[in-house]
Structure 1
Amino acid sequence: MNTEFEDSRGIDKCMVETYSNRRKMSLISRVVDIPLFLHIESECIEKIGDILSQNNLLFKNVLLLSGDTTFKAAGRRVVDILTGLGKSVDVMRIPDSTIETAERVRASIKDSNYNVVIGVGGGKVIDVGKYASNLEGINFISIPTTVANDGICSPVSVISYKKEKRSIITKTPIGVIADLSIIKDAPIRMIRAGIGDLLSNISAVKDWELAREIKGDNFDEFACLLSSRAAESVLISDSNDILSLEFLNKLVGSLTLSGISMGIAGSSKPASGAEHKFSHALDVISKNPALHGEQTSLGLIIATYLRGDDWERFVSIFGHWGIPTKAKELNISKEEVVKALIFAPKTRPDRYTILEHIKINEKKAIEAAEKTGVI
C-alpha cells in the first residue's frame, strides 16, 4: 500500500510540474476553415429548414443566386421552402461568372440587408456567390445542382476578367447541401468532368512535392493527404454506374474534401498543378474550350506521362467511365493542345510543376501528346 501511495504521489508531482511548464509555453494551434454543415443525400433540399435551425442559422433576409435552368431544377423549390418559413427571399439570375456579374451581386448585397447568400446552381453560380459574399462579409451556402468540379466547397472562385479566367481566394461556404436526386438528373457530362477534376489531385500533389524538393516550397502534408485520399477513394471505386446514388455520394463527398484541402493549405496547390495550368491555357487558346474537368483529364494524362508514371492507368479508367481521353472528342485541335502545353507555365508562373521542371517546349509537347494518344 505504501509503495502504491508513493508512486501515485510521484505521478501527481510529475503532473503538477508538467502543467506548470505548459503554462510557461504558448500553445500552438491551427485554425481550419471547414463548413458548419454538410448534407449529401437524395431529397435533402426538402430538409433545408431543419438543417438551418439545427445549426442555429436564424437569418431572415436571403439573397438566392441561380441560373435559368438551375432555378427550375432546384432554386424555385428552395425559395418556396424558405418563404414558407417566413423568410424574405430575393432572387438574382446569374448568366455567367464574369467580374461584371460578380460586382453586380456584390453591389446588391451592399445596398441591402441580406443575412446570407445561397447559391443554387453549377460552378458559375457558386463561384460568383463565394466571391461577392466574401468581399461583403456575409455567409454563403452552397447548393450545387451539378458536380463538374470541386468548387462546390472550395475557398476559390474562378472569375472571368477581360476574357481571362482568374482564380481568386475567397472563403469556404458555411454549408453545403448536395441533393443527389437533383445532381443525378444533370447531364452525365458534368459528372464525368467532376471525376476528371477530382482525379487530377493526384497529379497536383506530385507537382507540389516536386516544388518542395526543387524550390523549397512550403508543403502542407495534411492538405495533400486529404486531397490524395479524396481522389483515391473514387479512383479505386469498382462501380460501373456513375449515376448510382452510392457512387454520386462518394464523388460529392470527395469533391468536398478536395475543396477543404485547399482551405487548409490556404492555396489551391493540393488540387491544382500542371494539369490545371494546361486547362487554363486551353481556356485562353482554344476557340471552343471544353469543361474544366474534361480539360484537366487530358492534362492529367500528359503530366503523368511527363513524370514517367503510369499514364495508361488513367486512360483505362477514364475510358471505363466514358471520360474523354482524346482532344478531338472535345473538339480541341492538335495545334491547340501543343500551344496550350507550351503556354501553360505562363498561366501561373509562380507555381512550379513538371512543365517547368522539364522545360516544356514544342518538341516535348508534341511527343507527350502523341505518345499518350491525346492528339
Structure 2
Amino acid sequence: MNEILNMSMNEMAEADFDCSCGRHHSLPIKKIAIGKGVLKELPGVAAEFKGKQVYMISDNNTWKAAGEKAHAFLVNDGFKVKSHMFETGNEILIPDEAVMGRVLMEMPLDTALIVSVGSGTLNDMGKFLSSRTGVPYIIVCTAPSMDGYVANGAPLICGGRKISFVATLAYGVVGDTDVMKDAPMHMIHAGLGDVLGKLTALTDWSLAVEMIDEYRCDTCVKLVEKALKRCIDNAAALKERNEEAILYLIEALTLTGVTMAIVGVSRPASGSEHLLSHYWEMDFITRNKYPELHGVKVGIATPIVAEIYEILGADIPEATRKLCPKRAFVEELLNSAGAMISPKEVGIERELFYRSLLNANAVRNRYSVFQYAKDIGRLEEVTQKITERIYGK
C-alpha cells in the first residue's frame, strides 16, 4: 500500500494502487522522463506513434530552447512532424480564443500525436487541444516554472476571464534539466513561487478538513511535503542555476502535479494563494496590462496568505495552525533565490490589492482561509492590516 511514496519521479508513470485514504488511485501518464540529457529520449517516449502524423507546437522562445532539437530527434528517428511556431517576439503568449483557434486550424487532419514544447501556456494549449480532439499529447518542458505539466486542468483566457477548463493528462512528460537550467531566471523564480504556494495550499486543505469535513488524501500530502523539503533546502542555489537545485524544483512541481492527477482535485497544489494570483491576473488582462508569470504572483501571494493565518491566530483550529508557515520564513526563501516578494513589484496598486483580499474567494468555488475569515467576521480587519503594512496608512 502507498508504494508510490518510495518511487522515483520517473517510476510513477502508470502508478496504480489502493491508498490508505480508502480510495484507489491511478496515474494514466504513460511515460515520465525527467533528468539530465533526457531530451534525446523523446523518440522513445513517442515510439507508439512512429510512422504517424505528429503535430508540434511551440513559440519562438521555446523553439530555440528545445523545439529545434526535439524536432530533429523525431525527424531523424523517422517521425513525420508538422511544426507550428508562434512568433511572439518579447511578448507573452496569451492562450485566448484567437490563439486556440489558430492552433486548431494548423493541426493536420490525420494527427496522431501532439507535442507541445514549452511551459505553462503551451502546455495548457496542448492539453486542451488533446482533450477536445481525442489526440494524445506529450509535453517537452522548457522551464521549471509551474506545476501543470502533469495536471489535467487548462487555464485559458475566454471572454477576458481566466477559466480553468477540464482537459486531459499528458501521454508523456520529457523534462531535461540541461534545458531548464538555462531558462530565464524569472521563470525559475516563478517555479519556486509556485512550489512555495503548496505550503499555504496544504494549510487551506487542512482548514477545509477541519471546518467542512472535506476529503483529504494523506499520501498526497506526504508526497508534496517530501518534494517541498528538498526544494526548500536548495532554494538559495537556484540563483546560481545549480543543476541539482533545478532538478529538485522540477521534481517538486511535477510531484504536486502527480498528486493532483491521482486525487482528482487541485487541493494539494492550489489554495488561497492561487485565488489571489488569478484575481490579479484577470484584472490585469481586463485592462490590457502584462499579467506577470503565474508562479511569480503565487510566490508573492503565499506570504500574504501566511500572514492572514498569523493574524487570525487562535481563531484557527490548532491542527491547521501548526501547518502554516510564517510570513517571514516564506519571504526569506524567496529573497534567498532573488525572487520578488512585494505585490508592488509587479504593479499591483493599493486599490486592487485591497479589493483582491476582500473578493478573491469568489474566483473559485473552494473553501479557503478567505471564506473562513469572512465567516467569522474578520476579513475586513485582516484586509486593512495587511494593506496598511504593505502600502502604508
TM over 0.5: yes
- Report the AA paired with residue 183 of structure 1: M
- Report the AA paired with residue 248 of structure 2: K
Return the match for 2:186 from 185, 189, 194.
Answer: 189
| In structure 1, distance between residues paired with 2:129 and 2:104 | 5
| In structure 2, distance between residues paired with 1:209 and 1:374 | 31
State the partner residue of 2:74: 82
- Report the AA paired with residue 352 of structure 1: Y
- Report the AA paired with residue 39 of structure 1: A
Return the match for 2:271 from 269, 273, 283.
Answer: 273
Contact 1:61 1:87 in 2 (8 A): yes
- Report the AA paired with residue 300 of structure 2: L
State the partner residue of 1:307: 309
Q: CA deviation at 1:29?
A: 6.8
State the partner residue of 1:209: 206
Q: CA deviation at 1:238?
A: 6.4
State the partner residue of 1:351: 366
State the partner residue of 1:4: none
- Report the AA paired with residue 37 of structure 1: K
User: How big is each residue's C-alpha offset from its partner over 1:310-356, in whole Å with a ceiling of 9 and x where there is no partner?
Assistant: 111111111111111112222222222212112201101x2010011
Return the match for 1:42 from 32, 36, 44.
Answer: 36
Q: Which moved more, 1:35-44 or 1:61-70?
A: 35-44
Q: CA deviation at 1:62?
A: 0.2
Q: Percent identity?
A: 25
Residue 234 in structure 1 maps to residue 250 in structure 2: no
Number of equivalences: 343
Residue 325 in structure 1 maps to residue 341 in structure 2: yes
Contact 1:106 1:136 in 2 (8 A): no
Spell out the pairing of 1:5-44 with structure 2 (5 A cutoff).
30-44=24-38
Contact 1:64 1:92 in 2 (8 A): yes
User: How big is each residue's C-alpha offset from its partner over 1:200-230, in whole Å with a ceiling of 9 and x where there is no partner?
Assistant: 1111111111112212222222223322332
State the partner residue of 1:133: 130
State the partner residue of 2:319: none
Residue 370 to residue 289, structure 1, CA distance change in 2 (3 Å): farther
Return the match for 2:62 from 60, 70, 73.
Answer: 70
Q: CA deviation at 1:58?
A: 3.6
User: How big is each residue's C-alpha offset from its partner over 1:57-89, in whole Å with a ceiling of 9 and x where there is no partner?
Assistant: 545210101012211222122222212222111
| In structure 1, distance between residues paired with 2:367 and 2:224 | 18
User: How big is each residue's C-alpha offset from its partner over 1:104-162, in whole Å with a ceiling of 9 and x where there is no partner?
Assistant: 434555x6111111100121111000011122212111101112211122212111101
Return the match for 2:121 from 120, 124, 127.
Answer: 124
State the partner residue of 1:218: 215
Return the match for 2:355 from 326, 335, 339.
Answer: 339
Residue 29 to residue 152, structure 1, CA distance change in 2 (3 Å): closer
| In structure 2, distance between residues paired with 1:168 and 1:50 | 30
Larger radius of gyration: 1
Q: CA deviation at 1:185?
A: 1.8
- Report the AA paired with residue 258 of structure 1: T
Residue 365 in structure 1 maps to residue 383 in structure 2: yes
State the partner residue of 2:251: 253
Contact 1:150 1:255 in 2 (8 A): yes
Contact 1:96 1:125 in 2 (8 A): no
User: How big is each residue's C-alpha offset from its partner over 1:269-306, in whole Å with a ceiling of 9 and x where there is no partner?
Assistant: 11111000000110122444321111111221111111
Return the match for 2:97 from 96, 99, 115.
Answer: 99
Return the match for 1:295 from 280, 294, 297.
Answer: 297
Structure 2: gaps spanning 5 or more residues: 1-21, 87-92, 311-323
- Report the AA paired with residue 99 of structure 2: T
Q: CA deviation at 1:187?
A: 0.9
* Partner SS for 1:357: helix
| In structure 1, distance between residues paired with 2:43 and 2:147 | 25
* Partner SS for 1:358: helix
Residue 294 to residue 342, structure 1, CA distance change in 2 (3 Å): same
State the partner residue of 2:139: 142
Contact 1:158 1:165 in 2 (8 A): yes
Residue 185 to residue 237, structure 1, CA distance change in 2 (3 Å): closer
State the partner residue of 2:168: 171
Contact 1:106 1:133 in 2 (8 A): no
TM-score when scaled to structure 2? Answer: 0.81
TM-score when scaled to structure 1? Answer: 0.85
Residue 61 to residue 321, structure 1, CA distance change in 2 (3 Å): same
Contact 1:142 1:153 in 2 (8 A): no
| In structure 1, distance between residues paired with 2:363 and 2:77 | 46
Contact 1:46 1:81 in 2 (8 A): yes
* Partner SS for 2:114: strand
* Partner SS for 1:173: coil
Q: Which moved more, 1:156-165 or 1:223-232?
A: 223-232
Q: Which moved more, 1:123-132 or 1:332-341?
A: 332-341
Residue 241 to residue 364, structure 1, CA distance change in 2 (3 Å): closer
State the partner residue of 1:22: none
Give the aligned CA root-mean-square deviation in angstroms: 2.2
Structure 1: gaps spanning 5 or more residues: 1-27
